[in-house]
């Protein structure tokens, strides 16, 4: 197994495609964070500066998701929380399992011979070998042992869909609030 060095070969076509897809996934998660920030700001009804102070205290995704859970629980009714937020929360949590693998585990490059006898390189993300010793379950692998470029592309599409869903939720909650239908009963 060839574990990539910190600086993989920059001219390989397969490397460029793989790392471009990986970069797009990372970028899409930044937009998930932005939507979570918007949900926090909606819930807290604070200025950008104040919301930023609280939201960005934690760098870990699961802590930010938990923060938004708590903030929304105060801001909307239980029914709205259950019907509007819980599905988005669950989807965010599910996709974050793959996000964590992409963010915290190394790439691997394997070579195969192609029809023209030139090497064909396959790049994947795999669980750090020393961590595998712990025999943990990695839900983000979805039953596989590693993630390849097709998995990255699929993940990107799923995260982009999540960004859209979260943005729609933010807009819906703002409209409901303006119409007086988004208040938590006391």
Q: Is residue 172 part of a domain?
A: yes
> How much is the pTM?
0.87
pLDDT surpassing 60 at residue 88: yes
Q: Is residue 160 part of a domain?
A: yes
Q: Is residue 183 part of a domain?
A: no
Q: What was the pLDDT predicted at 5?
A: 55
Q: What value, to the nearest 5°, has the Cα angle with vertex 154 and ends 152 and 158?
A: 115
Contact 148, 20 (CB under 8 A): no
Q: Is residue 90 part of a domain?
A: yes
Q: Is residue 2 part of a domain?
A: no
Q: What value, to the nearest 5°, has the Cα angle with vertex 66 and ends 57 and 139?
A: 115
- Total domain count for the chain? 1
pLDDT surpassing 50 at residue 186: no
pLDDT surpassing 90 at residue 116: no
d(Cα 70, Cα 64) in Å, to the nearest integer? Answer: 10
Q: Is residue 149 part of a domain?
A: yes
Q: Is residue 6 part of a domain?
A: no
Q: Is residue 44 part of a domain?
A: yes
Range of the domain at 73: 13-178
């Amino acid at each position: 197994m060839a574990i990539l060095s910190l600086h993989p070969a920059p001219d390989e076509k397969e490397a460029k495609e793989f790392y471009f897809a990986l970069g797009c996934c990372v970028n899409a998660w930044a937009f998930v964070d932005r939507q979570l920030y918007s949900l926090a700001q909606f819930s807290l009804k604070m200025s950008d500066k104040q919301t930023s102070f609280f939201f960005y205290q934690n760098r870990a995704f699961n802590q930010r998701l938990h923060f938004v859970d708590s903030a929304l629980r105060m801001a909307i009714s239980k029914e709205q929380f259950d019907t509007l937020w819980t599905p988005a929360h669950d989807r965010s949590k599910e996709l974050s399992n793959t996000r964590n693998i992409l963010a915290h585990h190394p790439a691997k490059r394997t070579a195969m011979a192609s029809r023209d006898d030139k090497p064909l390189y396959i790049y994947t993300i795999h669980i750090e070998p020393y961590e595998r010793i712990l025999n943990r379950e990695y839900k983000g692998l979805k039953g596989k042992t590693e993630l390849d470029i097709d998995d990255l592309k699929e993940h990107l599409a799923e995260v982009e869909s999540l960004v859209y869903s979260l943005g729609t939720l933010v807009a819906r909650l703002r409209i409901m609030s303006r119409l007086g239908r988004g208040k938590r009963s006391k």
